Structure 1
Amino acid sequence: MDIEPEFPSKRQRKRKRHHDEINDQEEEIQLSAMESFRVNYFLVIVDNAILSLTSRFDQLKKFEKLFGFLFNSKNLKSLDDSKLQECCATFAKAFSDDKSSNVDLHDFVSELKVLQVTLPDGLMSALEILQFVMAVDCYPNVSVAYRILLTVPVTVASAERSFSKLKLLKNYLRSTMLQDRLNGLAMCCIEKDILDNVDLDCALNDFASRNARRNFF
């Protein structure tokens, strides 16, 4: 940035001492320019950054505490029966209320115990474990747990991106656009990576077949 990292020293003004002041009174601490910058700016910025990062990752810590044993096959296979029971109880409690629960705790523990010994050797991700579970179709509670794990949002990045795209669309086109069209364009902008893989010819043919207004005589 072409800024010289220099801190020029300024002459410190000395306060006039009155005759009735005690001689051993504490003198005001005088900081050099570099020390003043470090105390009043640098350390303040560092403290704010640490505080922001800590609060930012609190959610991830809670997520890891709840789903950590399901992250991969290594984590799952490393659990003994007591630890597995504890993790499953925490998970079931988080996704239940007074009337119902997304998973049955007893069946969930039993299914995971069987899964620990039936999973193929080698490290498997959560998605690969879900694909394995769906293929054999005999672990209903485990299937629910992994689907929750893989669909729970753990960051606001997607939401921030959505609002960013929506702001652009509303600024340039909102005055002449209906809500349905705004929703469609927002989806196209937000999911551009998926849109790039769409076969346009098939999409056009499908659109034409749905909106055909031909008169046959």
Structure 2
Amino acid sequence: MAKEKSNKKEKKDAKQRKEKSVSATAAAKSRSKQPETAEVLSSKLQYQGPLFSVFSDHIVEPNGVECTRDVVRHGGSVVILAVDDSQSKRDPMIVMERQYRHAAGQYIWELPAGKIDGDESRLAAAKRELIEETGYRAKKWSPLVRYFASPGFLGEWMQIFLAEGLTLGDARPEEDERIDLYLISLSEVLRLIDAGAILDGKTLIGVQFYARNRKQKTKS
């Protein structure tokens, strides 16, 4: 009797999951008929700085909501997951930085990253930033993943590149950059993430996305 009740419950749960999946698909199709971006009724510059600008936009969102949103506009940034597997293919080394971040009020473990200069491409910016901050050059480059860091108010999206086939040269950090450079095994970086020692968003996304892809490739 208990087994029969358990089977009925499993069937009921499966049916509910299927119904939710179907309703989600239908909702997505319905939304696809709506405009994809907001109608901007007015936009006022509130702050202009060397790194970013802040605008107050009066808009009508695709769902019909009329409101004012404060938006931080930035020229764009790139992130580099630089991997050295010359010593171990199973547990490669990751180029990591540790530097003080005033906004966070603490030292942060993170992947190399930086802003795009002028009209340079994201890949060109990634190659330049890797050299400037770490001294490393890479033979192979490929886009790994991109993401919006905080889409509630920040318009910027960040592209993470995978850099492989590393050779070391001289770093050329900017005057206000004080960066400690480390080579840390992937397994140790993942351990630090699990321990809560790595709090930087781009590093959490880049390293774990890379580790998941490696795991899937190993299984296949």
Both proteins in one fold, TM over 0.5? no
Which protein, 1 or 2, shows the higher relative CO under an 8 Å CA cutoff with sep ≥ 6?
2
Structure (1/2) with the larger strand percentage: 2
Higher CA-based Rg? 1
Q: Structure 1-normalised TM-score?
A: 0.24
Question: TM-score with structure 2 length normalisation?
Answer: 0.24
* Structure ranking higher in helix proportion: 1
